[in-house]
Amino acid sequence: MRKLVLPAALLSVVAMPALADTGIGLAGDRTLVTIDLAAGQVTGMTEVDYDGRLHGIDYRPATQTLIGVTEGFEVVEIDPATGEWSLIVEMDQEMSIEDGAAVIVDINPAADALRFMSGTTNHRVNLGTGEVMVDGNLTFTDGTDGRPMIGGTAYSNSFGQPDSTSMFNIDVALASLVQQTSPNDGENQVIGALGAMIEGPIGFDIVTDSSGTNTAWLAANGAIHTISLEDGAVTESWEIEALDVTLRDLTVMPASD
pLDDT tens for 49-64 read 999 999 999 999 999 9
Whether residue 1 lies inside any domain: the answer is no
Strands in 223-227's sheet, in edge-to-edge order, are 202-208, 214-220, 223-227, 234-239
Whether residue 84 lies inside any domain: the answer is yes
> CA-CA distance, 150 to 32, in Å (whole number)?
22
**CATH no. for residue 93?**
2.120.10
- Tell me, what's the pLDDT at 20? 67
- Tell me, what's the pLDDT at 12? 36
Select the more confidently predicted residue: 178 or 7.
178
Whether residue 142 lies inside any domain: the answer is yes
- The stretch 206-213 carries a mean pLDDT of 94
- pLDDT grade, residue 86 (50/70/90)? very high
Whether residue 172 lies inside any domain: the answer is yes
What's the domain range around 234? Answer: 8-253
Give the angle subtended at the CA of 219 by the CAs of 218 and 220, to the nearest 5°. 115
The pair phi, psi for residue 184, each rounded to 5°, is -75, -25
Q: How many domains does the chain have?
A: 1
Count how many residues are written for the chain: 257
Whether residue 2 lies inside any domain: the answer is no
* pLDDT of 138 over the 90 cut: yes
What is the dihedral sign for C-alpha 182, 190, 208, 131? positive
Whether residue 3 lies inside any domain: the answer is no
> CA-CA distance, 94 to 219, in Å (whole number)?
28
